[in-house]
Chain A
Amino acid sequence: MKKRKKVNIPVLVGSLIIGFFVVIAIIAPAIVPYDPSETSALTYGKPSPEHLLGTNDVGQDIFSELIYGTRISMVIGIFAAVVVTCVGTLLALLSAWYGGVADKLITGLTNLAMAVPGLALTTLLVCYLSPGILSIVVAISITAWTGTTRVLRSQILALKEEPFVKIEKAIGQRDIVIMGKHLLPNLKDIILSRGAMAVSSAMMTEASLSFLGLGAFGEKSWGAILHYAFFRNGVVRGLYWWYLPPILCTSLAVLGFMLVGYYGQQKR
């Protein structure tokens, strides 16, 4: 008996947006008109056929910067989200499945991490850790895992009470197998959904950090482009082709992940 699957439009739109940026990030070297780090004499150039989005204060092509920026923003966003989701899921599993001391410890830790102001700690960490993508990912992840842990912990506690899980215990199945084969597959919708939302939130954090000048040196993310646009008088001088594109790209990418994350959950 075939069921007609209704197309989930928000998820479809979100996926298309994400797909678009992923493709851009992958083929970046092939499509950039200029090497974004190459400076030129044409500073503060307006949009023209040679420079679609003009040039920045040191003559670098903004359009090329933007395309390469996709790579950094996406990589950091996705990497951080993966870390957050994995850590969150692992802690939720240990806490909910074993209960007792493990649960008390992890719940305590979660509450502590939730009480700490995330962005402040992140900013602090970035300043102290050696600069680089890894540090940014660590800094972003340090308190972002708590939401995932909380939600998954309550889901796992509920699943634990289901007859089929009890039967698995009764037939003598090992804990690891139960977790991997019976718990996680039933949580995959939530995990993926929270993962997508984690990307959005990580991208926003990264954009904020980069805007403040704390982002990765070397390659510029969209936030970094915005940093220079602001601090090199691009905003004051009304050079909208410099500050608007990174804002739009960030917003669009965040929207894409949010659509998939939020509306992906509605399947139930």
Chain B
Amino acid sequence: MRMRLEQLTKTYKSRNGGGAQFYAVRNANVTLEAGETVGLFGDSGSGKSTLGMMAAGLLKPTSGSIFYEDQLCAFPYRGTLRRNIQILFQHPEVSFNPALPLIKSMTEPYTLYNLPYSKQILVENVERFGLHEEHLHRCPGELSGGELQRAALARLLVLRPAVLVLDEPTSMLDVITQAQMIGMLRDYQKETGASYLFITHNRSLCDRVCDRVYDVEQGNITLEE
């Protein structure tokens, strides 16, 4: 089992009502095997994004444990663990630093982990996602949502993560771009056996893309049959 979330809970203190707890996620139990795509299906506000953030090591759980390959994960993630679990968000326009040309953001994974880097390597990588060198020199404001989301994916995959948390990655894209993104994700999964935690509120997309689905409603997670 690649990843296991056990009794994961996130609470917030309620503003009014004098210290009453608000359960964003309550006792979530989720498993993720190698090479599978697990869906978190629910309405907005149901807690699925909160759960995704905790799985990605970006939000500290109030209680519960996260296991990656049977090792208990401490918050925040560090080292190989940090590299292996990555996340894609819903809004491509703010997935890159708006003040920098794309190339400055795209080189970071290479330099952070001492991966071999040259401009040519970078360009070859992005071309597999339908982008060209001229895109790299533009700022995020000059690129479309589809281009930015593909660039975000290209950037993450340089790290060859084993787990990707995908928080509504295609809901801001048109259907054709969405289909292309899903295709790219499928290719990567076939190639590396990566696991995906796919968060969505789109039922038909969920059914087509996911192997197993958890229903998320008001913080409660239940496995669908």
A-side interface residues toward B, CB under 8 Å? 162-164, 166-173, 181-182, 185-186, 188
Contact = CB atoms under 8 A, between A and B. Distances in A.
Contact of B159 (A164, A166, A171): A171
Contact of A164 (B82, B90, B96, B156): B96
A163 B58 contact: no
Contact of A173 (B76, B95, B98, B108): B108
B89 interface: yes
Interface string B87-123: 1011100111111100011001100110000000000
Given A170-B58, A170-B86, A171-B109, A163 B91 contact: yes
B83 interface: yes
Main secondary structure, interface of A, reads: helix
A167 B109 contact: no
A185 B97 contact: yes
Give 3 nearest A-B pairs by CB, closest first: A163-B89, A185-B99, A172-B82
21 contacts: A162-B94, A163-B91, A164-B94, A164-B95, A164-B98, A166-B53, A166-B58, A167-B95, A167-B152, A167-B156, A168-B108, A169-B58, A170-B57, A170-B58, A170-B85, A171-B86, A171-B108, A182-B97, A182-B100, A185-B97, A186-B97
Contact of B83 (A168, A169, A172, A181): A172
Most buried by B among A162, A169, A170, A182: A170
Interface string B174-186: 0000000000000
B197 interface: no
Nearest to A165: B97
Contacts of A162: 94
B99 A186 contact: yes
Contacts of A171: 82-83, 86, 108-109, 112, 155-156, 159
A173 B76 CA distance: 13
Interface string B63-92: 000000000000010100011011101110
Contact of B95 (A163, A172, A188): A163
B51 interface: no
Interface in B146-166: 152, 155-156, 159
B95 A186 contact: no
Given A171-B109, A173-B112, A166 B87 contact: yes
Contacts of B91: 163
Contacts of A168: 108
Most buried by A among B85, B97, B105: B97
A29 B67 CA distance: 72
B213 interface: no
Contacts of B109: 171
B56 interface: yes
